[in-house]
Structures are given as structure tokens and as C-alpha cells.
């Protein structure tokens, strides 16, 4: 008895998906994203891409949201052994690395009106997690994380944007970035200590 034939599939397999668009955009980098560039990376025409994303700004928002959704926020896995102050240092390190790895993402995550519902949901869940882990109110958690995150994202963006600029005079860029990072970390430490003092924690 002959083997039954599998039904044939018609048409091309779908090549444009949200994940693939995001991957291409992340590889290119938010500051350099263009419709033509992302379409070329996907192997499709830019008109085909327009059918999935209506504008360049929408394309950048899609990529920024995906970058944010892939960011693994550190969890308070052992609050009995890791104090809130220690956790905040772990968290701010994650923020700094996030900004450094993704130039151009800052405007999409620092402005509340630019954040998408999925991004806001992730932020809210993290605030709730820290509130429960350390026995503080949701409002205290929201204030602490928002205050520290705002400073960290803004300052880290400034540090790494400045580090990427051509130097006015010949200088060791690695040493210069390290010096700026050290000053940044001192500011973060002061902010964390002061914020926890304000919460009387």
C-alpha cells in the first residue's frame, strides 16, 4: 500500500514576525534603525515591512518594547540574606548594563507616556515583587525603584553616550569610561543610601 501523500502547503512561509523584526532591529541598534535596513536584514522589501509596522516610530517602539521585555530584572530570591540595600546595588548594576548594551533605548523606557502597556505591566509586577519580598508597601516600592531607576538610566545614558563621542583631544577611551563609571557608581550608592533613609528602612 503506497504511503499517503502529505498535503502540500501553498505560499511562502511567513518571514515577517514581531520576533524577527525585533531581532533585526536589536542587531542594527535603535539609533541606526531604518525601514530599509530592517527589511534588508529580514530579506523582504520595505513595503512588505510596512504591512506589519505602520511607521518608523512604531518600528522603534516595537524594538524598544522587545528589548525591555527581554531584560531579566533581578529577583529578590533570598531577602533574608540579601538586604534591600544590597539588592538595590544588584538592580542598579542590571540597569547600567541594560542601558550600555542598548544605545538609544533610554527615551522609550524613561518616559512613562512612551512606555507600552506590556512595559508598564512588567514594571508594576517588579514593584509588587520587591514590596512583598522586603515587607514594604507597594507605594514605597514604587517610589524607591522609580527614583533609583530614573537616575540610573539617565546617568548611564549620559556616561555611555559621552564615552562613544569622538574625544576632543587624544585620550584613553577605556580609562575615561572607567573613570566616569566610578563616579556614576558613587552617585548610585549615595542615592540608594539616601532613598532608604528617607523610607526609614
Please report whether residue 3 resides in a domain.
Answer: no
pTM: 0.82
The model's confidence at residue 169, banded by pLDDT at 50, 70 and 90, is low
pLDDT value of residue 12: 54
The model's confidence at residue 161, banded by pLDDT at 50, 70 and 90, is confident
Q: In this prediction, what percent of the chain has a pLDDT beyond 90?
A: 63
Q: 159 or 119, which is more confident? A: 119
Structural domain that includes position 93: 71-198
Same domain (yes/no): 179, 115: yes
Give residue for cell 501523500: 5
Write the DSSP assignment of 53-116 as a string of letters: --SHHHHHHHHHHHHHHH--PPP-S-TTTS-HHHHHHHHHHHHHHHHHHSTT-HHHHH-GGGS-
pLDDT value of residue 114: 73
For the record, the C-alpha cell of 124 comes out as 508594576
Q: 162 or 8, which is more confident? A: 162
CATH at 194: 1.10.357
Work out how many domains the chain is built from and give that number: 2
Same domain (yes/no): 160, 81: yes
Same domain (yes/no): 88, 172: yes
Amino acid at each position: 500500500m503506497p504511503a499517503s501523500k502529505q498535503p502540500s502547503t501553498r505560499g511562502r512561509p511567513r518571514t515577517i514576525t514581531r520576533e524577527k523584526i525585533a531581532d533585526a532591529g536589536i542587531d542594527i541598534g535603535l539609533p541606526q534603525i531604518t525601514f530599509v535596513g530592517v527589511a534588508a536584514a529580514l530579506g523582504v522589501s520595505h513595503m512588505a515591512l510596512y504591512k506589519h509596522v505602520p511607521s518608523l516610530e512604531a518600528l522603534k517602539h516595537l524594538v524598544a518594547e522587545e528589548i525591555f521585555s527581554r531584560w531579566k530584572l533581578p529577583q529578590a530570591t533570598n531577602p533574608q540574606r540579601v538586604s534591600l540595600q544590597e539588592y538595590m546595588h544588584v538592580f542598579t548594576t542590571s540597569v547600567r548594563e541594560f542601558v550600555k548594551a542598548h544605545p538609544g533605548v533610554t527615551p522609550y523606557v524613561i518616559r512613562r507616556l512612551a512606555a507600552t502597556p506590556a512595559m508598564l505591566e512588567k514594571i508594576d509586577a517588579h514593584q509588587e515583587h520587591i514590596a512583598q519580598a522586603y515587607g514594604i508597601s507597594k507605594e514605597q516600592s514604587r517610589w524607591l525603584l522609580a527614583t533609583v531607576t530614573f537616575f540610573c538610566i539617565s546617568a548611564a545614558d549620559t556616561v555611555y553616550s559621552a564615552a562613544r563621542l569622538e574625544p576632543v583631544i587624544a585620550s584613553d577611551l577605556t580609562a575615561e569610561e572607567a573613570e566616569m563609571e566610578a563616579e556614576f557608581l558613587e552617585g548610585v550608592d549615595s542615592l540608594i543610601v539616601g532613598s532608604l533613609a528617607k523610607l526609614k528602612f
